């Protein structure tokens, strides 16, 4: 890279000490831009621990050692962001959640930064925080770009807010190299993966699995992830008598092995911002059974071509689709092969180049 085109970039996030999609993508894109020669820092609002490996040239700092009350620590938070940007001569600030605009706007007054808001949730979901809607309006007026994950979401931003900002669709990349070969799909395992929270619909999946287990007792359901819903989901497994056919082994520490040892992937979410796990599963040639939820699955998947899709919150429909894939190996193979072909478009190198162009764009 021409030294003149290098940028001093800061990714501002809540924390990297969480096994979640936005945090994983922050580390992935920060690493990729550092690999392209940019000077990259990650500023967490709290905790300098990262659950994801960081490039040796990525510097990770935090405003607070532990999560504070941001209402009480608002002024200190704003001052900490401003101090970091000045100390590192930040040129491009990427906020990894539009909610952070409530801190960033006052923190960067007069600094002349290239300001990018990166939205990981779909526009019509505020995650229980009405202030997110205000933050989105502020971002739409004050940022140079707002990055969203799907074209559907880009259109929602444009029609609802008529933003001054440029709204750019940049999908999340596959966070690992495209596997050289598809999974052998030799084990009778259905895989699901995500945080154990209500949005992921794992309660619906377990109720569906009761019917699947009765009809295909030699198959096993593995749900990787961690979260507040664990006690409720464990109780539901006991209630439904699924102790022998469904398991919650916790966070997945080796996704390559986990996908490689599975035969079907199921996404049961009530809503998604993107659904990176779908791209990961497709890269391994796993047939997909998914809910038809906003916004990622509806854009990423083609019903009947690379996935079977059903309505949200419908255990019966989910069970029927899973049994269809289990009982029809030719259909499963066709869905998996089509998905694997599509996953190639999400290679990290390609999307990193798009981020590189974004951060280097003249004002």
Q: For residue range 245-300, what is the model confidence (pLDDT) as tens digits?
A: 999 999 998 989 999 999 999 999 998 989 999 999 999 999 999 999 977 898 89
C-alpha–C-alpha distance, residues 226 and 195, integer Å: 5
C-alpha–C-alpha distance, residues 147 and 171, integer Å: 9
User: Does residue 142 carry a pLDDT above 90?
Assistant: yes
% the chain with pLDDT above 70: 99
Which DSSP letter does residue 312 get?
T
User: Does residue 336 carry a pLDDT above 90?
Assistant: yes
Task: Give the length of the chain.
Answer: 363
The yes or no reply on domain 3-173+347-360 and CATH 3.30.413.10 is no
Task: Assess contact for 265 and 277: CB atoms under 8 A.
Answer: yes
Sheet hosting strand 145-148, strand order edge to edge: 59-64, 39-46, 8-13, 92-95, 114-118, 145-148, 166-169
Cis peptide before 70 (omega within 30 of 0): no
Task: Assess contact for 81 and 101: CB atoms under 8 A.
Answer: no
Residue 234 CA, chain-centre distance (Å), reads: 25
Q: What is the pLDDT of residues 182-192, one digit of tens each?
A: 999 999 999 99
pLDDT of residue 126: 82
Handedness of CA 222, 234, 51, 20 (dihedral sign): positive
User: Does residue 63 carry a pLDDT above 90?
Assistant: yes
C-alpha–C-alpha distance, residues 63 and 289, integer Å: 41
Task: Assess contact for 77 and 57: CB atoms under 8 A.
Answer: no
% the chain with pLDDT above 90: 89
Task: Assess contact for 351 and 247: CB atoms under 8 A.
Answer: no
User: Does residue 203 carry a pLDDT above 90?
Assistant: yes
pTM score:
0.89
By C-alpha distance, which of 167, 178, 174, 217 is closest to 326? 217
Which part of the chain is CATH 3.40.50.2000? Answer: 3-173+347-360, 189-346
Instruction: Give me 65's structure tokens.
Output: 């050692």
**Residue 245 — left, alpha, or beta (φ > 0 → left; ψ -120 to 50 → alpha)?**
alpha
pLDDT of residue 300: 92
User: Does residue 122 carry a pLDDT above 90?
Assistant: no
- Of the candidate CATH numbers 3.40.50.720, 3.40.50.2000, 3.40.50.1820, 3.30.1330.20, the domain formed by 189-346 belongs to 3.40.50.2000
Q: How far is CA 24 from CA 31, 282, 307, in A?
A: 11, 18, 25
Burial class (CB in 10 A: 0-12, 13-18, 19+), 120: buried
Q: Which residue is associated with the tokens 């190299």?
A: 177
């Amino acid at each position: 890279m021409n030294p003149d085109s290098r940028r001093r970039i800061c990714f501002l996030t809540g924390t990297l000490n969480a096994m979640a999609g936005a945090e994983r993508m922050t580390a992935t894109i920060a690493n990729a831009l550092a690999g392209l020669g940019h000077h990259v820092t990650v500023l967490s609002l709290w905790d300098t621990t990262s659950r994801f490996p960081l490039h040796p040239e990525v510097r990770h700092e935090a405003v607070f050692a532990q999560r504070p009350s941001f209402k009480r620590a608002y002024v200190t938070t704003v001052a900490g962001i401003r101090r970091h940007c000045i100390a590192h001569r930040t040129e491009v600030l990427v906020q990894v959640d539009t909610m952070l605009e409530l801190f960033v706007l006052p923190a960067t007054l007069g600094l002349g930064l290239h300001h990018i808001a990166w939205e990981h949730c779909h526009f019509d979901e505020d995650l229980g925080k009405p202030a997110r809607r205000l933050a989105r309006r502020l971002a739409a007026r004050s940022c140079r770009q707002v990055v969203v994950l799907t074209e559907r979401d880009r259109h929602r931003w444009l029609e609802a807010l008529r933003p001054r900002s440029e709204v750019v669709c940049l999908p999340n990349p596959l966070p690992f190299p495209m596997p050289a070969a598809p999974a052998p799909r030799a084990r009778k395992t259905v895989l699901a993966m995500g945080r154990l929270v209500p949005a992921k619909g794992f309660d619906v999946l377990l109720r569906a699995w009761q019917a699947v287990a009765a009809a295909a007792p030699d198959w096993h359901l593995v749900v990787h992830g961690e979260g507040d819903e664990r006690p409720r989901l464990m109780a539901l497994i006991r209630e439904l008598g699924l102790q022998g056919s469904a398991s919650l082994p916790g966070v997945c520490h080796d996704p390559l092995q986990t996908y490689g040892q599975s035969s079907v992937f199921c996404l049961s979410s009530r809503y998604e911002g993107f659904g990176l796990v779908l791209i990961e599963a497709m890269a391994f040639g796993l047939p997909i059974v998914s809910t038809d939820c906003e916004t990622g699955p509806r854009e990423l998947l083609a019903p009947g071509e690379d996935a079977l899709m059903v309505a949200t919150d419908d255990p019966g429909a989910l069970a029927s689709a899973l049994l269809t894939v289990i009982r029809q190996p030719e259909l499963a193979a066709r869905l998996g092969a089509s998905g694997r072909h599509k996953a190639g478009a999400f290679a990290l190198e390609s999307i990193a180049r798009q981020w590189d162009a974004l951060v280097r764009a003249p004002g």
